[in-house]
Amino acid sequence: MKLSPLMVRIASGSVLLLVCLGAILSGAYGVVALCIVLTALLLWEFRGLSDKMGSRAPSWLLYPLGAYVTFSGTFLHGISLELVLSIALVGGLMTFLFIPGRREGLGRWAMGMAGALYIGLPMNSYLLLFFSSHSKGLAWVVFVVLAAVTTDVLALLVGSRIGRTPFFHRISPRKTVEGAVAGLVGAVLVILFGNAVTLGLPPVQAIAIGILVGMGAEVGDLVESQMKRIAEVKDSSNLIPGHGGVLDRFDSILFPAILVYYYASFGGLLH
């Protein structure tokens, strides 16, 4: 029996969510393994998008730098960030003086740097959240991810049913203000639930974190939509049946990690 597109989407999405949650819940090894796999896939998809956007990110810059940035705050924190970026700057631009296609060199170098930061910094933030909070790192990661996913789902459901007011129409015509508000409220509720269960933060801090997650998720989704619009493609790849690419499904969880980590870190909330 052939499954409908909706059933394929639901089935593949459920499997993906279970695999990711299973890896996260399995502990440090699972989290690190998940980060490695996701980083590799996301960088690969970004390289494909960059090619269609007009400046193909060079593999020799994108992958090593993306891998370093991903682990720069944890396992590779002993290697100077300034040193690595300096090598990427001087070595990267110098390389394009000699290889064919040097007219496009600056754009390709910039795209490689951008892709490494776009993917690597969020992954680094998730690892920092996990390892910086000695007793509750797992809870931080799980509830940030769940809140971001809830934002995405509620924004789609509410926006498609009762949404009337366009939200960044030129980038994503189907998004609405009503959906964005619903997604933001959903993120706050998820974080408040996580706070009541395990995080134990002051309620005002939990609400602020929920707002940051919701905003980060929606901005991340819009940023990837803009990339696809520039590249003139519907999906970042076809790896996930019924969903498109990994980046299509994980775009909304990238920025929340950065916002939450620095808010929690500077506020002394990671303990």
Closest CA to 263 of 123, 81, 121, 129: 129
User: Structural domain boundaries of the chain?
Assistant: 5-266
Report the C-alpha gap between 239 and 39 in whole angstroms. Answer: 14
Find out whether 190 and 147 touch, Cβ atoms under 8 Å.
Answer: yes
- Give 8-50 pLDDT, tens digit per residue: 666 777 788 788 888 988 889 999 999 999 999 999 999 999 9
- Asked if pLDDT for residue 1 goes beyond 60, the answer is no
Q: At what angle do helices 203-231 and 28-53 cross, to 10 degrees?
A: 40
Mean pLDDT of 235-246: 80
What is the DSSP annotation of 118-129?
HHHHHHHHHHHH
Please report which confidence band the pLDDT of residue 252 belongs to, taking 50, 70 and 90 as the band edges. Answer: very high
Enumerate helices (H) and strands (E) in the chain, giving the number of each: 9, 0
Find out whether 55 and 104 touch, Cβ atoms under 8 Å.
Answer: yes
Report the C-alpha gap between 82 and 78 in whole angstroms. Answer: 12
Closest CA to 123 of 184, 70, 50, 59: 70
Find out whether 261 and 129 touch, Cβ atoms under 8 Å.
Answer: yes
pTM score, two decimals? 0.92
Tokens of 155: 């924004």
- Give 132-157 pLDDT, tens digit per residue: 877 899 999 999 999 998 998 898 88
Return the SS3 of 166: strand
Q: Give the per-residue pLDDT at 171.
A: 83
Q: Give the per-residue pLDDT at 205.
A: 96
Find out whether 144 and 194 touch, Cβ atoms under 8 Å.
Answer: no
- Give 89-135 pLDDT, tens digit per residue: 999 999 888 876 656 788 999 999 999 999 999 999 999 999 987 78
